[in-house]
Amino acid sequence: MIKLVVFDLDNVIIDGEAIDEIGKLVNVQDKIAQITEKAMNGDLDFETSIKERAELLTGVSVEDIKKLAENIKLMKGTKETIKSLKDEEYLIAIISGSFDLIANPIKEELNIDFLFTNTLIEDDGKLTGEVTGPLVQDSKADVLRKLIEENDILLNECVAIGDGANDISMLEASGLSIAFNAKPSVKEIADVVIEDKDLTEVLEVIRTRKSNNDKQKENIKETLEDESIEYVSVNVSKLSDDDVSVNVSKLSDDDDVSDEKSTGEKLVNENNKDVKSGKKSERKNKQFKRKTRRKKLPETDFIPANDFLEVLKQKNEHECVILEIADVRDEYNKISKGQKSLRDKLNNDLKENIKLAVEFRDKRNKINEEVEKYKHFRNKVNNEIKKLEFSSGKKDMIDLEKEIEKIDKIIETNVLDIKKENQLVKKANDLRKQINEFREDEKIKILADKLRKESEEHHSKVVELSEEAQEFHDKMVEYFKKTNEIRSNADEAHKLFIKSRNDASAKHEDYKMVLSEIHIINSKLNSFRGKRKNMDRESTIKQDREEKEKAETIFERFKKGKKLSTDELLLLQKHNIG
């Protein structure tokens, strides 16, 4: 049964590569396209490719990217396909190495349930050339597994649609994989290949799969109903509170790999009576009957011995082995639980850390808006001061003083004839007379002083707010750095969680194999019991026959007048003779 449909973004939901379109804003689209092509073909690992491409986008305006996102072209049939799938109650996810600036508006427009993308780091409205997010280091399969674990969905209940090499892990993990207008490496591993750039073709594939599943439901139901039901004896003393039967295929983060443990204990404890002597065991452990459906165990080529005592020895050996395996498996489960708990705690810390970093960024940006406002006030006042100085003649006075200074320097540093020197002295004196003629208006002077004071106040505010903004910026950077450290630790904990869980699964497979052999051994022991019962029954019949013949002989002798003993009379009564 399909529950979740997962799409790639670039060249699947949208008609093109988002990063190529962003690259056009700064004319690096050709360089980006070359790196993208290598990554799509599998010639370059995705982490390296995304970092190299993000670096080429350094300095791009975030606002320009947002405007680009508003006009991004969707793939043909996207809206119809998503709406139909939603109407048919499928969950929809986008898992893409692309960026949230492009994907978030699309998520809102199409009403997508889950979105996982990367984030281009920005500072002051410009890209820094750095990239972060769940798909920089993790594969799409890792992200998909986290998603289904949180939503109680199985991998075989997922459909994945992709086109590039970085989609392969997700496609291979899913129950149904669709290569959409894809690279050759993707087509080779996909269950279905769609060549046309029309997303509505995905609908037909999913509906066909659903139809086939519906047809199989009745057969599965009948098969389940035909499975045998048996009562088995279980020794309470060997069962713990943790013994539960679970389906391995439906394991969640919280499930131990302990499928059929209670069934295993039942089989281990079957025939708990003393089969050597045929007598009842002297131990008085409580027994109870449990109704259970026999689970299918793996096939084995194990052949039990033909001698009763050898088979009993095999049983004891297998019981020891299966308990050892169970102990190792349970230890792996314990490690798995611990790493899951640690991972979840770190992920919560990560969310809180990012939240704080974003809060500091928002505070910084808000203060920077105030800085710009006071800069504007200061510059406006400074322009008014310049106008006052120009209208009062102060500017002309400054120019005349510069000219006088120039003349005085020529007189001091050059050897001049008396006529030339007199001319320069006269010119300087004339300029000084002109300066004396300038008189600054008193009202203009007062206004200018007032404006200068106002300008200084605005400037002080700019400095004060800039320092405050810098403090928030430093805190933001600190928390973003801490975020990377926490994410790295969380990723490591998740890897250990997956490893220990896989180790537990492997041990559980060993457990089931030994369990299957114990089942065969118990069947062999039961066959020995059956033979013994037949022999006992045959012996009893023979004894009864011989006693009856003896009783008939005694009765014949009694008819001839022979006296009977008490035992002989009892024998005649037993066989109802006479």
**Hey, which residues does 161 pair with through a beta bridge?**
7, 178
> Residue 7: phi, psi to the nearest 5?
-115, 145
Q: Residue 140's Cα: distance from chain center in Å?
A: 8
Q: In angstroms, rounded to a whole number, what is the distance separating the alpha carbons of residues 22 and 69?
A: 9
Task: Find the length of the chain.
Answer: 578
Which residue's entry shows tokens 């974003």?
358
Q: In angstroms, rounded to a whole number, what is the distance separating the alpha carbons of residues 214 and 224?
A: 16
| DSSP 8-state code for residue 190 | -
Query: Three-state SS across 410-476?
Result: HHHHCCCCHHHHHHHHHHHHHHHHHHHHCCCCHHHHHHHHHHHHHHHHHHHHHHHHHHHHHHHHHHH
Let me know: does 246 contact 323? Beta carbons within 8 Å.
no
Contacts of 364 (CB under 8 A, 6+ apart): 469, 472, 473, 476
Among residues 284, 285, 246, the alpha carbon closest in space to that of 262 is found at 246
Q: In angstroms, rounded to a whole number, what is the distance separating the alpha carbons of residues 417 and 455?
A: 50
> Residue 51: phi, psi to the nearest 5?
-70, -40
Q: How far is CA 420 from CA 394, 406, 417, 427, 431, in A?
A: 30, 15, 5, 11, 17
Q: In angstroms, rounded to a whole number, what is the distance separating the alpha carbons of residues 197 and 339?
A: 43
Q: In angstroms, rounded to a whole number, what is the distance separating the alpha carbons of residues 264 and 511?
A: 9
Residues designated catalytic = 8, 10
Among residues 207, 112, 195, the alpha carbon closest in space to that of 159 is found at 207
Which residue's entry shows tokens 């997700």?
170
Q: Residue 257's Cα: distance from chain center in Å?
A: 20
- Cα angle: 493, vertex 495, 501; to 5 degrees: 100
Q: In angstroms, rounded to a whole number, what is the distance separating the alpha carbons of residues 436 and 393?
A: 12
Give the helix/strand (H/E) hosting 529.
Answer: helix 442-559
| DSSP 8-state code for residue 398 | H
Q: In angstroms, rounded to a whole number, what is the distance separating the alpha carbons of residues 302 and 513?
A: 10
Token pair belonging to 521 = 């051994």
Q: In angstroms, rounded to a whole number, what is the distance separating the alpha carbons of residues 3 and 258?
A: 26
Q: In angstroms, rounded to a whole number, what is the distance separating the alpha carbons of residues 92 and 142?
A: 17
Identity at 192, one-letter amino acid code: V
State the sign of the Cα–Cα–Cα–Cα dihedral 386, 389, 393, 395. Answer: negative
3-state secondary structure of 249: helix
How many C-beta neighbours within 10 Å does residue 7 have? 27
Token pair belonging to 267 = 């089989």
State the sign of the Cα–Cα–Cα–Cα dihedral 47, 53, 55, 61. Answer: negative
